[in-house]
Every structure is written in C-alpha cells, then in structure tokens.
C-alpha cells in the first residue's frame, strides 16, 4: 500500500513538472511573439518617419 502511494506521488510530481514546463514554454513563445510584433511595429514607424524626413528634406 505504501509503495502504491509513493508511485502515485511520483506520477503527480511528474505531471505537475510537465504542466509547468508546458506553461513556461507557452509563456516564452507568447513573449517572443509579442516582442517580435512590437519591434517590427516600431521598426515600421521609424522607417515611415525616416521616409517622411527624407521627403521633407528633398
């Protein structure tokens, strides 16, 4: 009986660490995507501003 509960606890721990890993991976991907979108948006804004400045200078 004691051995069975030990195995159950081990499985529970494994499941918890697996879920934790999945959640962390998901969050990491989410942050990466958000940063990528944000930086590309900023880059677009900068290039548009630069084009406007160049047009104004000509």
| Whole-prediction pTM | 0.51
Residues 14-45 pLDDT 10s: 888 899 999 999 999 888 888 888 888 888 88
Residues 39-48 pLDDT 10s: 888 888 888 9
pLDDT of 2 reads: 60
Higher pLDDT, 29 or 3: 29
Distance (Å, rounded) from C-alpha 28 to C-alpha 34? 10
Structure tokens of 51?
């084009």
Domain boundaries, the chain: 32-57
pLDDT of 51 reads: 92
């Amino acid at each position: 009986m004691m051995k069975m509960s030990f195995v159950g606890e081990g499985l529970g721990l494994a499941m918890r660490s697996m879920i934790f890993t999945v959640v962390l991976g998901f969050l990491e991907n989410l942050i990466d995507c958000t940063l990528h979108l944000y930086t590309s948006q900023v880059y677009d804004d900068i290039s548009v501003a630069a084009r406007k400045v160049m047009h104004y200078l000509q």
